[in-house]
Amino acid sequence: MPVDAARRFISQRAALDLRVHPQSISESIRKTQRKSNMPTTRYVDEVGGNDANSGLTFALRKKTLAGIASAGVAAGDTIRVMGKPSTASGINATFTNLSSAVTLASALTQSVYTSGAAWSPKTNVTSTGSQSGKLSATSAVNVAIAAAFTTGVAAFFATGALNLSTYQQLSFWVKPDVAVAAGVLRLDLCSDTAGATPVNQLTLPALTAGQWNLITIDNGANFGSSIQSIRVFAISDPGTVTLTFDDIIACKAASAVNCLTLNSLISSDNATWYGIKSINGTAVVLDTGGTSSAQTAKGIWSGTTGALPLSILAPLTRSAAGVGGVSITDTFNSATSGTAGNPIIISGGWDSTAMTTQNGFSVFDGVAALATVGLTIGCDFVTLDHFVFTRFNAPINLNGSTKKGYTLSNFTISDCGGLFTLPAHAVVFNTCQILNSVGGLSIPQTTNYNTDALAYSLAFVKIIGNTSGDGIVVPANVGSPAISIHDCAVIGTTTGNTNGFNISSPCIFYNNTSNDNASGSAAVGFLFQNMFDFVAYNLQGRNNSGAQVQLNNAYVEIFTLDTNFNLGTQVKFTTGSEGEAVIYSWTQNGTAPKVSLGDPATGETSGNIVAAHREGGLVANNSIYSDYGTITTTGVTGQSGGSGWKLSPNANAFASSPLRLNVGKVPCPAGVPTTIKYYAQLSAAAGVSAQLRIAGGRYPGVGSPGTDIVAAVAGTSWTQYSLTFTPTENCVVDVFFEAWGSTSLTASVSGPVTITQ
């Protein structure tokens, strides 16, 4: 092709390309935009990440949620946070229901100092033993360093010969009376008895004044095989300070499956994680309320007593090798919130290899940071999943601009000094545990639920060892839309005379348990108050000191109730209140008081009743309990072998205020004579009175006010009695059977019922 022709051809092709390519380029841009609008998975490693990274891949994971938030998170994004899996320790431990004591089958640690004996002080230092510590009231030691002391060995303690060659960490409690900066002090393990020859030197982190600091220091290598003393050493002048040391133990390598430290969380079911107060050989004591809790304040374990496999869960730690005590806290203040349909998901517990498997939890440990919030969320519509917060004063702060759209799932708060302020918009709790911490879940009273058309939802929430107030609270006047509470449990509240569940608005309520809230004499499992037409399903209330179920101006139906424990009244009305409990399938206890109908004084009546169907799960066992006596079908054989009701009046039952049972509602046509017949009998020929009655004055032609249609019962054999009347308008009449006049004799009523019209 000639050169000029070739040039013209190329020019024509170029012009054609210019006409075609802009569309292709635009389509490419649109595809890129669509991809950019898709949810993004981001990666955070609170220990080994780097906030200079993008966080978009495992290799480029960020260090903090704050760093991720600054990178431009969008609605629908998922943020994976590295965690740790739990480990099977390889031994059993004996757990005891409602006890703080856990006994290991064999020791996993080596005690270095747990005796409370005084240490040997150097010049310008004094030491006093038998101080109150975490382990016991006399297990700690004071080491008081005077102003004239400068640096060097302050005091030492001869431990006896210890082979620590299979241990790599030192875990202990220390409380200074003034703050101590990081790197000022060391604890040294020495090979001689006088603290002169250090083998392992462990630098202490910054210590907060006036409180117990929980420290675990990782040496990164095995300790010495011949340790005979421990010493406190001043690297630089600490000034005047008194240090209280307690429960110093050597622990396995952090990578070992049987690594147990004071920072560890332990479990008998690999799901419920408890904080530790002290370890001494095989004796472990559970903690409560965070690091500030008193020596006498101890957590509890809940379950069936026995020797169970011990699982261990380690918190994340940012402590460098050779130091310890550094807490993990974080913030997530994304400029963009999630949405109702596309929340931002912060997902913990991802593996350390590639963060492709969610095989554990991300455990944030407050250590000694009492005033610190574990995680602050500064945006809305966020889901937190697979996180554990321990030893914080406030584990989380849900603090978005509207404070709405939060979900907590697979979420644990353990051994914390407080909880958090619940937002005044719906929060979803799904598989959450609050263990040995201060406070329960008190749902706010607000009109926002109605405005948002969304209310709180609590599912599979377990509260064990709450040390302040009621467990789960639903306030008054928040019934629309209904709050949902199901498969929840409140167990072992340690504050006296509180309630497991305190419910004051109609809500969806089923499969809930309130057990072992026995502190004080008036603790209640389920308190229902100030509402009517409340329906609950499948409740268990056991070992609550005051009552298993208590009503205060409430009408409640419960389908399946278990109160089978011999402490506390099984169903009780608050003194001076009104109400009724209707219970279907009630498993009762034969020793504990069955009902208390408002505790009126002798000769007073409350008007409250408990109607129980299928008591003990038996169809033939049905009873009504009132202040006028008891009505039951249990053990009653009616006329011709059928069913019947037995009325046992008490001293409150008189002719004007009898023990009364509605035995039927009968439709009656106007102008047609109606005869209704029942069978009845007395337990004795004299001493008790009974009658069938239709109240007069309710319908024209059926008696008149003060003049009833009655048939008095006489005799001890089944006899048929008739009520006859002619209404002048269509109506439905109530037929009552009534008894009075005795506290030991009874009257019974039975079918078959005959109606003639």
How far is the C-alpha of 626 from the C-alpha of 633, rounded, in Å?
Answer: 15
pTM of the model: 0.91
What is the pLDDT, as a whole number, of residue 37? 67
CB of 740 closer than 8 Å to CB of 647: no
DSSP 513-581: EEE---SSS--EEEEEEEEEEEEEEEEEEES-SSEEEEEEEEEEEEEEEE--SSSSEEEEE-TT--EEE
Domains of the chain by residue range: 1-38, 110-251, 659-756
CB of 60 closer than 8 Å to CB of 98: no
What average pLDDT does the structure give for the chain? 93
What is the pLDDT, as a whole number, of residue 213? 92
Nearest CA to 502 out of 565, 454, 574 is that of 574
Q: Given phi > 0 = left and psi -120 to 50 = alpha, else beta, which region is 368?
A: alpha
Flag whether pLDDT at 12 surpasses 70: no
Higher pLDDT, 138 or 607: 138
pLDDT tier for residue 400 given thresholds of 50, 70 and 90: confident
Burial of 147 (0-12, 13-18, 19+ CB in 10 A): exposed
Burial of 392 (0-12, 13-18, 19+ CB in 10 A): buried
**Mean per-residue pLDDT for 301-330?**
88
Amino acid at 169: Q
CB of 338 closer than 8 Å to CB of 379: yes
Neighbours of 590 (CB within 10 A): 8
Superfamily for the 659-756 domain? icosahedral virus (2.60.120.660)
Of all residues in the chain, the percent with pLDDT exceeding 70 is 94
The CATH-assigned architecture of domain 110-251 is Sandwich (2.60)
Say which residue the tokens 């409640």 belong to.
556
What is the pLDDT, as a whole number, of residue 17? 42
**DSSP H or E run through 689:** strand 689-694
How far is the C-alpha of 171 from the C-alpha of 266, rounded, in Å?
Answer: 16
What is the pLDDT, as a whole number, of residue 6? 42
DSSP 263-300: T-EEESSSSS-EEEEEEETTEEEE--SSTT--TT----
Flag whether pLDDT at 267 surpasses 80: yes
How far is the C-alpha of 227 from the C-alpha of 200, rounded, in Å?
Answer: 9
How far is the C-alpha of 593 from the C-alpha of 591, rounded, in Å?
Answer: 7
What is the pLDDT, as a whole number, of residue 9? 40
Give the C-alpha distances (Å, rounded to integers) separating 282 from 108, 241, 255, 257.
8, 33, 21, 17
Cα-flanking dihedrals φ and ψ of residue 513, to 5°?
Answer: -130, 135
Flag whether pLDDT at 14 surpasses 90: no
pLDDT in tens, 734-750: 999 999 999 999 999 99
Q: Determine the straight-line distance between the first and last CA of the chain, rounded to whole angstroms.
A: 117
Whether omega for the bond prior to residue 481 falls within 30 degrees of 0, making it cis, is: yes
Amino acid at 5: A
pLDDT in tens, 121-139: 999 999 999 999 999 999 9
Q: What 3-state DSSP class applies to 25?
A: helix
Q: Given phi > 0 = left and psi -120 to 50 = alpha, else beta, which region is 538?
A: left
Exposure string for 333-343, b = 16+ CB within 10 A, e = fewer: ebeebbeeeeb
Q: What 3-state DSSP class applies to 132?
A: coil
β-strands 484-486, 441-442 pairing: unpaired
pLDDT tier for residue 290 given thresholds of 50, 70 and 90: confident
Nearest CA to 308 out of 273, 267, 271, 272 is that of 267
Q: Same topology for domains 110-251 and 659-756, yes or no?
A: yes
CA triple 332-334-340, angle to 5 deg: 100
> Tokens representing 144?
């008081």
What is the pLDDT, as a whole number, of residue 320? 65
Whether omega for the bond prior to residue 752 falls within 30 degrees of 0, making it cis, is: yes
β-strands 283-286, 185-190 pairing: unpaired
Q: How far is CA 196 from the centre of its chain?
A: 50
> Tokens representing 43?
């990666």
How far is the C-alpha of 91 from the C-alpha of 99, rounded, in Å?
Answer: 20
- Tell me the CB-side half-sphere exposure of residue 472, using CA atoms within 13 A: 33
**DSSP H or E run through 34:** helix 3-36
Q: Which residues contact 32 (CB under 8 A, 6 or more apart)?
A: none
How far is the C-alpha of 414 from the C-alpha of 393, rounded, in Å?
Answer: 11
Radius of gyration (C-alpha) of the chain in whole angstroms: 36
Flag whether pLDDT at 4 surpasses 80: no
Q: How big, in percent rounded to 5, are the helix, strand and coil portions of the chain?
A: 5, 45, 50
Q: How far is CA 671 from the centre of its chain?
A: 63
pLDDT in tens, 353-383: 999 999 999 999 998 766 689 999 999 999 9
How far is the C-alpha of 372 from the C-alpha of 633, rounded, in Å?
Answer: 61
Beta strand ranges found along 105-181 (DSSP E): 110-113, 120-121, 125-131, 140-145, 152-162, 169-176
Exposure string for 230-252, b = 16+ CB within 10 A, e = fewer: bbbbbeeebeebbbbbbbbbbbb
